[in-house]
Chains A and B, each alone.
Chain A
């Protein structure tokens, strides 16, 4: 079974500053994927960034980047130049292709508030 832990229930950051959200996971799988999803007040789940575990290079998407530490099973999300629209719940998730199912396991989320 996979577990995902987000130890920061809430965080805040000043607009234009940088913030890092923490995530640790546990899995016995050798082939797995890691994700960060954003859930704004509209509650739509939006994929922010994806990392394949076999890739050593950290994924980046514009202002969003990850610090993937495979040995430590850590997968943190860095948001640079924070914008008001970044205010949302952020969920870390992991997944693997066990028994032909690509189900995702989510953490409990971190509520991020960007302060003007």
Chain B
């Protein structure tokens, strides 16, 4: 019974490159949330997706960031033309449409040089 999986766990990019972060929720869970944690801060909501739909992207920066959760495969958070300020830990949480089942992955730590 694998938990929420995120990969890579660590990602290093140079300014201007693209970063792709993947999240596979637990089997049977069709909802994914992405959060960002800056150093010394709590997690901040970015986007909420169901299979093939973006439900709430109110926390996502308008430029350079995008997210998808295709019918098959993991959810992907994509950051284009990364800047140093994008350095953070990115967590996804998977679950069903309730608070009773929302489980966090181990996070991806993105470092932008």
Residues of A within 8 A of B (CB): 4, 33, 35, 37, 42-47, 50, 91, 93, 95, 99-109
- Give A33 to B98 CA distance when docked, in angstroms: 10
Complex contact A50–B56 (CB within 8 A): no
Residues of B within 8 A of A (CB): 31, 33, 35, 40-45, 48, 55-56, 58-59, 89, 91, 93, 95, 97-100, 102-104, 106-107, 109
Minimum CB–CB distance for B111 against chain A, Å: 14
> Chain B contacts of A99 at CB under 8 A?
56
Complex contact A44–B106 (CB within 8 A): yes
Minimum CB–CB distance for B10 against chain A, Å: 11
- Name 16 A/B residue pairs within 8 A (Cβ), A-sorted: A33-B99, A42-B106, A45-B104, A46-B104, A91-B42, A95-B99, A101-B55, A101-B56, A102-B98, A103-B48, A103-B56, A104-B45, A104-B102, A107-B42, A108-B42, A109-B42
> Chain B contacts of A105 at CB under 8 A?
45
Complex contact A102–B42 (CB within 8 A): no
Partner among A43, A46, A47 whose Cβ is within 8 Å of the Cβ of B89: A43
- Give A106 to B36 CA distance when docked, in angstroms: 11
> Chain A contacts of B93 at CB under 8 A?
45, 104
Complex contact A43–B48 (CB within 8 A): no
Complex contact B104–A108 (CB within 8 A): no
Contact (A103, B59) CB under 8 Å given A50-B99, A91-B42, A95-B99: yes
Contact (A102, B99) CB under 8 Å given A42-B106, A44-B104: yes
Q: Which residue of B lies closest to A108 (CB)?
A: B42
- Give A109 to B45 CA distance when docked, in angstroms: 15
- Give A101 to B100 CA distance when docked, in angstroms: 14
Q: Which residue of B lies closest to A100 (CB)?
A: B55
> Chain A contacts of B107 at CB under 8 A?
43-45
- Give A108 to B83 CA distance when docked, in angstroms: 23
- A-B pairs, top 10 by smallest CB distance, nearest first, are A106-B42, A101-B56, A45-B104, A103-B45, A33-B99, A106-B43, A101-B48, A108-B42, A44-B106, A91-B42
Complex contact A43–B106 (CB within 8 A): yes
- Give A109 to B43 CA distance when docked, in angstroms: 9
